[in-house]
C-alpha cells in the first residue's frame, strides 16, 4: 500500500516538473551549503576543542539520517491537529479500510528527505575511517540500533 501512495504522490509532484526539479535543486544546495559551512569553519580553525573536520562531518552525517527518516515518514503528522481535524477532513481517514495513522503517515511523500538521507550516508561513508572510532561488532549493532531511537527522539522534540 505504501508503494501505491508513493507512486501517486510522485505523479502529483511531477505534474509541475519545473517546480519539482527546482525543489530537488534547493534541497541539494541546502545540504551542499551546510557541508560547505562546516568546511569553511574548519579551514579557519583546524580543531575546535579537539574535534576535527572529519569527526564533525561524521556526527553531522549521522544526524542527517534520523532527521531524514523523520522527515520521510512522520512529517505529515503535523497537519492532523492543525488543519485536518479543525477543517473536518479527518473523516476521510476513518471511513477508509486502512489504519488512520498509517494513512496519514503515507499520504504525503517528502522527496527532500532522500537528500538528507543520501548526504548523511555519503558523509558517513567518507569519514568513517577517519573518525577515530575503533569499530567492534557491538559498536556496529549499537550504531545501527540508535538510528530508529534518534528518529523517535527528533519527532518528540518537534
pLDDT over 90 percentage in the chain: 22
Matching residue, cell 515518514 = 73
Query: pLDDT tens for residues 132-151?
Result: 788 889 988 998 999 999 98
Q: Name every residue whose Cβ is closer than 8 Å to that of residue 69 and which is 6 or more positions away in sequence.
A: 113, 117, 147, 148, 151
pLDDT in the model for residue 128: 85
Burial of 151 (0-12, 13-18, 19+ CB in 10 A): buried
Would you give the end-to-end CA distance of the chain in angstroms? 27
Residue 154: pLDDT above 80? yes
pLDDT, tens digit (0-9, with 9 covering 90-100), for 84-132: 888 888 888 888 888 888 888 877 777 778 888 999 999 999 988 887 7
pLDDT tens digits, one per residue of 8-58: 878 887 888 888 888 888 888 998 899 999 999 999 888 888 888 888 999
How many independent structural domains does the chain possess?
1
Q: Which domain holds residue 68?
A: 2-157
Amino acid at each position: 500500500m505504501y508503494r501505491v501512495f508513493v507512486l501517486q504522490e510522485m505523479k502529483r509532484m511531477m505534474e509541475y516538473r519545473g517546480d519539482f526539479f527546482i525543489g530537488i535543486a534547493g534541497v541539494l544546495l541546502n545540504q551542499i551549503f551546510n557541508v560547505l559551512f562546516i568546511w569553511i569553519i574548519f579551514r579557519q580553525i583546524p580543531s575546535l576543542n579537539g574535534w576535527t573536520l572529519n569527526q564533525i562531518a561524521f556526527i553531522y552525517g549521522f544526524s542527517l539520517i534520523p532527521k531524514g527518516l523523520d522527515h520521510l515518514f512522520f512529517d505529515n503528522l503535523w497537519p492532523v491537529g492543525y488543519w485536518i481535524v479543525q477543517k473536518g477532513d479527518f473523516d476521510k481517514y476513518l471511513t477508509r479500510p486502512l489504519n488512520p495513522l498509517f494513512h496519514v503517515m503515507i499520504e504525503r511523500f517528502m522527496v527532500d528527505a532522500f537528500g538528507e538521507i543520501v548526504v548523511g550516508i555519503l558523509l558517513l561513508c567518507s569519514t568513517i575511517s577517519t573518525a577515530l572510532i575503533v569499530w567492534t561488532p557491538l559498536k556496529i549493532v549499537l550504531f545501527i540500533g540508535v538510528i530508529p531511537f534518534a528518529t523517535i527522539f527528533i519527532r518528540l522534540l518537534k
